[in-house]
Amino acid sequence: MLKLNSNTPIDALLDTLDRQGWVHEHDKDDQGHLTHLFIASKDCLAYAKKNPDIQVMDCTYKTNRFDMLLLNIISI
C-alpha cells in the first residue's frame, strides 16, 4: 500500500514515478487540479524515437468520473 506522507495522491504518484525512473509530464489548471498527465518508460520513448513512422492513438475508449478521456497509445 502506498503511503502518502501528507502528499496529495497525485503528488505521491509523481514522486513514485520519479523514484522508479519513469518519464512524465503534467499540467495543472489555475486551481492546481491535474488536467493532463503523460507517463512513459524510458525504453518506450527510445523505441518511439527510433521508429516514429506509425502511431495509433485512441482516446474514445474510456472516461473517468470527471469525464476525462483516457488516451491509449499503441506504436508499431
Does residue 25 sit in the same domain as residue 54? no
Does residue 36 sit in the same domain as residue 47? no
Residue 24 near residue 13 (C-beta atoms within 8 A): no
| Strand extents, DSSP E, the chain | 23-28, 34-40, 55-58, 72-75
Look at 59 and 26; give whichever has higher pLDDT.
26
Does residue 68 sit in the same domain as residue 47? yes
Does residue 47 sit in the same domain as residue 73? yes
pLDDT digits (tens, 9 = 90+) for 22-57: 999 999 999 988 888 888 889 888 888 888 887 766
Residue 64's pLDDT is what?
72
Kindly tell me the number of DSSP H helices and DSSP E strands found in the chain.
2, 4
Asked whether the predicted pLDDT for residue 76 surpasses 80, the reply is no
Counting the structural domains of the chain, the total is: 2
Residue 38 near residue 24 (C-beta atoms within 8 A): yes
Domain span at residue 65 reads 43-76
Residue 2's pLDDT is what?
59
Does residue 29 sit in the same domain as residue 63? no
Residues in the chain: 76
Asked whether the predicted pLDDT for residue 63 surpasses 60, the reply is yes
Does residue 4 sit in the same domain as residue 20? yes
Does residue 8 sit in the same domain as residue 35? yes
Look at 24 and 68; give whichever has higher pLDDT.
24
